[in-house]
Chains A and B, each alone.
Chain A
Amino acid sequence: MLFLMLPEKSRGQYPDAELAIDGLTCSQCSRSVEMQLRKLPFIQSVTMNLAHATCKLTFKKEAGTNAEAIAQAVTDAGFSLRYLKLKVPTDKISVVSDNCILVEKDAYATDRPPDPKQPYNYLLFDKKSFAKQRVAGKCFANRKYCTVKVLAE
């Protein structure tokens, strides 16, 4: 499980993402979520799977991608995030330490390093990913655009 540390918007490095939503029970509910997602400026397309309460997102190449904004759009629609899976080209990932990676300007605290043999790796956010988190100071030392978050006990 990878945990989010997202101090800044990414610069269009995610080809697509899969989003799963909890609490959805009808097509009107799904439509509400899609409408909130489409308001985000970096979203290129939203394809809902009504039967499984999931959707596929594609992003505009030159716009920043903000995972936290995607999760907030689901909340604004009145539902909950089950998971968000961002697809990242492996060559865009910099390994800082065993539990810290950078994807361009975004830093993430992780439980395992990415697999360098795969062309893509996936960042998986769950309901707890956007809670305040404390990350070991060394991972983000001298990175003025990183934000240290408080870990949940």
Chain B
Amino acid sequence: MRKVAHILLLLVMTLPLHAQELFPLGEPASNIPKGALGVRVFSETYKELTQIRNMSALRLMYGVAPKLSVYLTGIASNHHGRKMPVEYPFHNTPERGAVYPYKFNGAHLYGKYRFLSNDGEHRHLRMAAYAEAAAVKTTHHETEPDLAMGDNSGVGGGLITTWLRQKFAASLTVGGILPFSRTAPSPDPIDGLPDVMVRTRYGKTLTYSLSLGYLLLPRSYRNYNQANINLYVEFRGKAFQAAKVDLFVGSPNEYFLAPSRYPGALQKGRFLDVSPGVQCILNSNTRIDFSATFASLGNSYARLYPVFDIGIQHYFFFGKK
């Protein structure tokens, strides 16, 4: 599948000019129109041994100003238990195949400000800065943080550069995540003993992505009712520090566990995933996205491949006649 994605990338790059910047997984530098309200429902699913892991979210997007958009997302998933794994972090990290309840994780806030617009006829080059923050209550047991998917609380930010000409679009995003630490109980393997309070300081992370899009249909625009079909290939990755774990937090025997004793999921790492996708836009407003994510270089411990994403989005315009 990795080879197929790479071939698709080569095809997209050699096709004659033409695309879309409405990437299924990434954000372009463009904004939502001022005063418009966007509603997006999206979901991510993958199989973890005998379990189906799912994260679903409802996102409200608002165009505050022509250059400023804000998003608020509520996230729910069955990715995390109420406690850390038994004897964390020595064993079962990450805890594959465990039954976790489906619960509300928390919220994610995102703001994007476009500071550069070089527009021409059927083309543009734009740059935007974004900032994000998440407040969730989860027991994430990999060092790799994720704010948008509700794995971690924390803050982040970065820059987006989007180039678009006719039907082809390319967007580069580079950013960082500063995750907040989390203290949570880990059951003691010996029955009758109290839970061990464990503090995990997740790794500071550099994020990077390259999204490519191509407008397949229509070949020429006649009216708003024509269905738009867009093809995408997105490369997304992270480079993150090792976690830092303290055991018996708050008790006299609290101690810092040396990273040499961590399992792979808490060690530093980096990866690059590839996500081919297809999008359909109906009546020039309702957008439906499908994508699948595969490992390309390295891999993430936080997900098992392939990861399937689906999203549906619609804009509401107020004050129209």
Q: Quick one: given A25-B122, A35-B320, A79-B119, are A30 and B284 in contact (CB under 8 Å)?
A: yes
Contact B221 A75 (CB under 8 A): no
What is the number of residues of chain B that contact chain A, defined by CB distance less than 8 Å?
42
Mask: chain A, 36-74; 1 = CB below 8 Å from B; 0 = not = 101100010000001101000000000000000000000
Mask: chain B, 174-215; 1 = CB below 8 Å from A; 0 = not = 000000000000000000000000000000000000000001
Contact A82 B121 (CB under 8 A): yes
Mask: chain B, 220-253; 1 = CB below 8 Å from A; 0 = not = 1111101010000000000000000000000000
Residue in A20, A27, A75, A79 whose Cβ sees the most chain B Cβ within 10 Å: A27
Smallest CB–CB gap between B189 and chain A, Å? Answer: 55
**Residues on the B chain within 8 Å of A23, using CB:** 117, 119-120, 123-124
Contact A27 B122 (CB under 8 A): no
Residue in A24, A78, A80 whose Cβ sees the most chain B Cβ within 10 Å: A78
Question: Looking at the complex, which one of A27, A39, A53 makes contact with B321 (CB distance below 8 Å)?
Answer: A39
A134 at the interface (CB under 8 A from B): no
**Residues on the A chain within 8 Å of B122, using CB:** 24-25, 53
Smallest CB–CB gap between B287 and chain A, Å? Answer: 8
Contact A27 B224 (CB under 8 A): yes
Smallest CB–CB gap between B36 and chain A, Å? Answer: 7
Q: Quick one: given A22-B120, A23-B120, A38-B321, are A28 and B221 in contact (CB under 8 Å)?
A: no
Q: A25-B124, A76-B66 are in contact. List 10 more A-B contacts (CB 8 A).
A: A22-B119, A22-B120, A24-B122, A25-B164, A27-B226, A28-B228, A35-B320, A36-B34, A36-B35, A51-B220
- 27 A-B residue pairings within 8 Å (CB atoms): A20-B121, A22-B120, A23-B120, A23-B124, A25-B123, A26-B22, A26-B215, A26-B228, A27-B221, A27-B223, A27-B284, A28-B22, A28-B228, A28-B287, A30-B221, A31-B285, A35-B36, A38-B320, A39-B319, A39-B320, A50-B222, A50-B224, A51-B221, A76-B33, A76-B34, A78-B114, A80-B119
